[in-house]
């Protein structure tokens, strides 16, 4: 790479069309989370009660630079309209100068009468750039993926090159480039960096849609979709582009969500993208580190729930091993699993218990470098205020998730650190449930929050997204997306739905919606674990006989083994990596339920069994809570 292409820190920007609310609210949100600039979308300005000068002043007062005004549509290669289009442009230039922005985005013509003539398009754009340049302004030409004639960046660049005007350059958009199967080349074949006037970034899931519909409704932030945005950005920056990196995302869920939350997610995605593409300049972000597992789970409970939870965990084979009397916290242990019950009404847990009912309050994560993991969280604009209630002390390193769960970052010997904080309680009996470790934690969340929480887990905690799948509930579909760490020490499936009547929908609809509703414990012998639980009075979710009859047609299993599965209410799945056995307890305390799993090489979550399991849970729920 030549000296002129040395990577430098990049200013960040977001298009106002990405955020909900009025223009003032959008600008405030962008500034509050730390964006350097904004693209002003014309419709936002037209709906604003103040003048363009007022908008420019508001942006400057908030510390924002207006980096681009858009869009200027359907200009080039339209016979008989050049003079009228230039007059139209002059009015846009008036607005731009009042706003205090020097760059106008001109997107490729979509009209049916646009002619297929690059020389004509270049001449028209030269005339436009000449008018703009005379007023100290610039034109950025962008290939819309649904343009009438110009749909790819390379053709847009050919036209810009033919025009050869200093006030005319190229606008590159990752979505428009990648959705048509293009890529951006290396520096030897790319346009020179000084002719790339602006770069817009968006990701998207892979969908079979026309580009217009795909773009207008299904864009997401980088890292939330399936397009190769990081290689695109790396190539653009290696070509010498040194301007802002801007998010332009059209998404129905984003525009229905609070602007501040979406802006925070957007900036987080840009930081993660720059880190992945290695274009941020300066020192790289601290690494998320290696996850060693879940050291503890802490539940916020009142006194009544404290007794109910204690009884349930004892049924599962846990033993009461410690207490912090001054904080009203009890610790239960089995294998590598530690469960804390926090009944202190004075602290954060007490507030959560009053608002959310008994629910998960904190997760202790063992990582190899907790200070670096905390620094990474802060770099991604996570709240990292201390919390010394419950299991934690004033020196504890704590992050907060978007839905306010506390994440304590512990060293590699996480459980040992936790045990040292408690007064030990001597017990005659030993833990006897055969449970070894926490396998995964599942969360029911509103559909519009899924992308933001997934982004937190991937960018901040370094998890990787597995393939999403749909679960058939008797009353609708549930979308499930699992995020896991390398080595699978931490696994967090996220569940969301559009139907309020599904089991997931019912959990989300509760005013006291708990963040985590499903906790899976791993065992080496699921049959022994189920027998041990039942001997202590624990129930298991009843699975219909028809399910076990069908197993024989799905897999080559010994009939005695299938009978054994049925006697223990254990479900079964297998794939090319191994096999999986799992059983469920009934829901209790705010809809929380437990799962016991045994893995033999299998890395999934038993998705083929989920429809039967969910139907059984729905039947149980409807029997106990008839309408």
pLDDT tens readout for residues 46-90: 999 999 999 999 999 999 999 999 999 999 999 999 999 999 999
Q: Assess whether 257 and 383 both reside in one domain.
A: no
Distance CA 234, CA 184 (A): 9
Please identify, among 400, 424, 448, the residue that sits at the C-terminal boundary of a domain: 424
CB 190 within 8 A of CB 184: yes
DSSP class of 71: E
Distance CA 504, CA 508 (A): 6
Q: Assess whether 333 and 355 both reside in one domain.
A: yes
Q: Assess whether 414 and 507 both reside in one domain.
A: no
DSSP characters over 488-531: GSSEEEEEEES-TTSHHHHHHHSTT--S--EEEEEES-HHHHHH
Q: Assess whether 420 and 440 both reside in one domain.
A: no
Please identify, among 277, 311, 328, the residue that sits at the C-terminal boundary of a domain: 277
Q: Assess whether 142 and 105 both reside in one domain.
A: yes
- The answer on pLDDT for 627 being more than 60 is no
Q: Which residues contact 622 (CB under 8 A, 6 or more apart)?
A: none
Give residue 473's pLDDT. 83
CATH of the domain at 82: 3.20.20.150
| Residue 319 included in any domain | yes
CA angle 214, 219, 223 (to 5 degrees): 135
pLDDT band at 505 (very low <50, low <70, confident <90, very high): confident
Residue 296, strand partner residues: 364
Give residue 500's pLDDT. 82
Average the pLDDT over 212-219 and give the result: 89
Task: Please tell me which residue, 138 or 429, carries the higher pLDDT value.
Answer: 138
Task: Please tell me which residue, 269 or 619, carries the higher pLDDT value.
Answer: 269
Give residue 72's pLDDT. 98
Q: Assess whether 574 and 481 both reside in one domain.
A: yes
**CA dist 490 → 31, 294, 483 (Å):** 34, 7, 8
| Residue 3 included in any domain | no
CATH of the domain at 337: 3.10.180.10
Give residue 469's pLDDT. 82
Q: Assess whether 86 and 182 both reside in one domain.
A: yes
Give residue 3's pLDDT. 36
Please identify, among 424, 450, 480, the residue that sits at the C-terminal boundary of a domain: 424
Q: Which two tokens stand for residue 185?
A: 């080349």
Give residue 86's pLDDT. 98
| Residue 282 included in any domain | no
Q: Which two tokens stand for residue 594?
A: 């437990």
| pLDDT tens profile 421-473 | 999 998 777 767 899 999 999 998 888 888 899 999 999 999 998 878 888 88
DSSP characters over 304-360: HHHHHHHHHHHHTT-EEEEEEGGGTEEEEEETTEEEEEE--SSSHHHHHHHHH-SEE
- For residue 49, what are the domain limits? 8-277
| Residue 367 included in any domain | yes
Give residue 7's pLDDT. 39
CA angle 596, 597, 600 (to 5 degrees): 160
Task: Quote the mean pLDDT of the chain.
Answer: 92
Distance CA 211, CA 214 (A): 5
**Burial state string for 185-200 with b = 16 or more CB within 10 A and e = fewer than 16:** eebeebbebebbbbbb
**CA dist 512 → 349, 389, 589, 591, 617 (Å):** 14, 21, 12, 11, 20
Q: Assess whether 572 and 448 both reside in one domain.
A: yes
Residue 482, strand partner residues: 493
- State percent of the chain over pLDDT 90: 77
Distance CA 540, CA 566 (A): 11
Q: Assess whether 92 and 126 both reside in one domain.
A: yes
- The answer on pLDDT for 4 being more than 50 is no
Q: Which residues contact 44 (CB under 8 A, 6 or more apart)?
A: 16, 17, 22, 23, 26
| Residue 554 included in any domain | yes
Q: Assess whether 138 and 261 both reside in one domain.
A: yes
pLDDT band at 8 (very low <50, low <70, confident <90, very high): very low
> What ranges make up the beta strands (E) of 385-475?
398-400, 406-410, 423-424, 435-444, 464-465, 469-473
| Residue 283 included in any domain | no
CB 146 within 8 A of CB 212: yes
| Residue 195 included in any domain | yes
Q: Assess whether 46 and 93 both reside in one domain.
A: yes
Q: Which residues contact 375 (CB under 8 A, 6 or more apart)?
A: 286
Classified as helix, coil or strand, 96 is helix
Q: Assess whether 249 and 113 both reside in one domain.
A: yes
| pLDDT tens profile 542-554 | 999 999 999 988 9
Give residue 510's pLDDT. 66
**Burial state string for 432-456 with b = 16 or more CB within 10 A and e = fewer than 16:** bbbbebbbbbbbbbbebbbbbbbbb
| pLDDT tens profile 469-498 | 888 888 888 888 999 999 999 999 998 888
Give residue 311's pLDDT. 95
Average the pLDDT over 391-413 and give the result: 93
Give residue 6's pLDDT. 38
pLDDT band at 196 (very low <50, low <70, confident <90, very high): very high
Average the pLDDT over 222-233 and give the result: 93
| Residue 454 included in any domain | yes
Instruction: Tell which residue, 163, 55, 69, has the closest CA to residue 107.
Output: 69
Give residue 446's pLDDT. 86
- How many domains, the chain? 3
């Amino acid at each position: 790479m030549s000296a002129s292409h040395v990577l430098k820190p990049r200013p960040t920007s977001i298009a106002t069309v990405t955020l909900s609310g009025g223009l003032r609210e959008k600008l405030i949100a962008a500034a509050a989370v730390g964006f350097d600039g904004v693209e002003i979308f014309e419709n936002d300005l037209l709906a604003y009660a103040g003048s363009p000068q007022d908008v420019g002043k508001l942006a400057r007062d908030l510390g924002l630079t207006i980096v681009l005004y858009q869009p200027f549509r359907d200009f080039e290669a339209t016979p008989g309209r050049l003079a009228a289009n230039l007059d139209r442009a002059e009015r846009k230039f008036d607005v731009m100068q009042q706003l205090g922005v020097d760059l106008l985005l001109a997107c490729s013509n979509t009209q049916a009468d646009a002619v297929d003539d690059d020389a004509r398009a270049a001449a028209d754009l030269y005339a436009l750039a000449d008018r703009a340049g005379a007023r100290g302004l610039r034109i950025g030409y962008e290939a819309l993926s649904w343009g009438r004639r110009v749909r790819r960046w390379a053709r847009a660049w050919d036209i810009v090159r033919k025009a050869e005007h200093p006030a005319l350059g190229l606008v590159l958009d990752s979505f428009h480039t990648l959705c048509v199967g293009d890529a951006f080349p290396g520096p030897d074949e790319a346009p020179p960096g000084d002719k790339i006037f602006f770069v817009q970034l968006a990701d998207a899931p892979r969908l079979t849609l026309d580009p217009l519909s795909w773009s207008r409704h299904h864009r997401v932030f980088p890292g939330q979709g399936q397009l190769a945005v990081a290689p695109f950005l790396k190539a653009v920056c290696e070509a010498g582009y040194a301007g802002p990196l801007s998010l332009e995302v059209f998404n129905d869920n984003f525009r229905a969500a609070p602007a501040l939350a979406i802006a925070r997610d957007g900036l987080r995605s840009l930081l993660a993208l720059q880190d992945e593409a290695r274009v941020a300049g300066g020192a790289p972000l601290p690494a998320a580190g290696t996850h060693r597992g879940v050291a503890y789970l802490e539940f916020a409970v009142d006194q009544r729930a404290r007794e109910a939870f204690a009884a349930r965990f004892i049924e599962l084979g846990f033993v009461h091993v410690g207490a912090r009397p001054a904080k009203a916290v009890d610790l239960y242990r089995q294998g590598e699993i530690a469960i804390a019950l926090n009944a202190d009404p004075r602290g954060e847990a007490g507030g959560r218990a009053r608002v959310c009912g008994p629910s998960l309050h904190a997760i202790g994560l063992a990582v190899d470098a907790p200070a670096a993991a905390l620094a990474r969280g802060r770099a991604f604009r996570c709240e990292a205020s201390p919390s010394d209630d419950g299991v934690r002390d004033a020196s504890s390193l704590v992050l907060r998730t978007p839905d306010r769960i506390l994440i304590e970052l512990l060293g590699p010997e996480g459980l040992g650190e936790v045990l040292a904080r408690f007064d030990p309680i001597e017990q005659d009996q030993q833990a006897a449930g055969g449970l070894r470790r926490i396998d995964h934690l599942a969360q029911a969340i509103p559909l519009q929050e899924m992308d933001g929480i997934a982004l937190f887990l991937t960018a901040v905690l370094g998890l990787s997204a597995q393939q999403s799948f749909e679960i058939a509930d008797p009353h609708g579909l549930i979308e499930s997306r699992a995020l896991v760490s390398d080595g699978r020490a931490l696994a967090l499936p996220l569940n969301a739905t559009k139907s309020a009547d599904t089991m997931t929908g019912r959990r989300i609809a509760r005013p006291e919606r708990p963040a985590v509703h499903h906790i899976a414990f791993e065992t080496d012998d699921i049959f022994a674990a189920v027998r041990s639980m039942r001997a202590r009075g624990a129930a298991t979710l009843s699975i219909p006989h028809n399910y076990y009859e069908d197993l024989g047609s799905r897999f080559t299993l010994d009939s005695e083994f299938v009978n054994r599965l049925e006697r223990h209410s254990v479900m079964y799945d297998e794939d090319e990596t191994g096999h999986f056995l799992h059983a469920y307890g009934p829901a209790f305390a705010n809809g929380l339920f437990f799962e016991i799993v045994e893995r033999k090489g299998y890395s999934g979550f038993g998705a083929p069994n989920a429809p039967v399991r969910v139907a059984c849970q729905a039947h149980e729920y409807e029997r106990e809570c008839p309408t």
